């Protein structure tokens, strides 16, 4: 099983739509989980951490399911500016972070 798996997409949605991404990870010892956002040809930027109880930041909701070893990101009321690649990230033993290859979202008017 790959360390991290994401549906690469692209997800093409209209403005205002709700869209969800899932990401599965293989290392059951992972403790920290994140979603990063990466715009074309730019650096990844931290979107939000993912907590065990689930957490919300405005239109974005992140969930963690340890039993099934996946995290999810829900985006409500999609905006054109949400178009980007979303990277699923978790820590391996110690310092290293493992990055998924990303899910591409395209929001159209």
Partner 1 sequence: DAGITQSPRYKITETGRQVTLMCHQTWSHSYMFWYRQDLGHGLRLIYYSAAADITDKGEVPDGYVVSRSKTENFPLTLESATRSQTSVYFCASRGQGLTYEQYFGPGTRLTVT
The footprint of partner 1 (CB under 8 A) covers 32, 34, 41-46, 49, 87, 91, 95-97, 99-102
CB 59 to partner 1: min, Å:
20
CB of 48 to partner 1, least distance (A): 10
DSSP at 31: -
Nearest CA-CA partner of 108 in 9, 17, 8, 7: 17
Compare residues 2 and 108 and give the one whose CB is closer to partner 1: 2
Which pair of tokens denotes residue 78? 């999609």
Task: For the CB of residue 18, give the shortest distance to partner 1 in the complex, in Å.
Answer: 26
Distance of alpha carbon 64 from alpha carbon 61, whole angstroms: 10
């Amino acid at each position: 099983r790959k360390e991290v798996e994401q549906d690469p997409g692209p997800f093409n949605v209209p403005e205002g739509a709700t869209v969800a991404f899932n990401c599965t990870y293989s290392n059951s010892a992972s403790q920290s989980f994140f979603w990063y956002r990466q715009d074309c040809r730019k650096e990844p930027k931290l979107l939000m951490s993912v907590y065990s109880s689930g957490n919300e930041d405005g239109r974005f909701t992140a969930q963690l399911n340890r039993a099934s070893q996946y995290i999810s990101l829900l985006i409500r009321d999609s905006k054109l500016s949400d178009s980007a690649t979303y990277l699923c990230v978790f820590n391996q033993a110690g310092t290293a972070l493992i990055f998924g290859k990303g899910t591409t979202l395209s929001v159209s008017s």
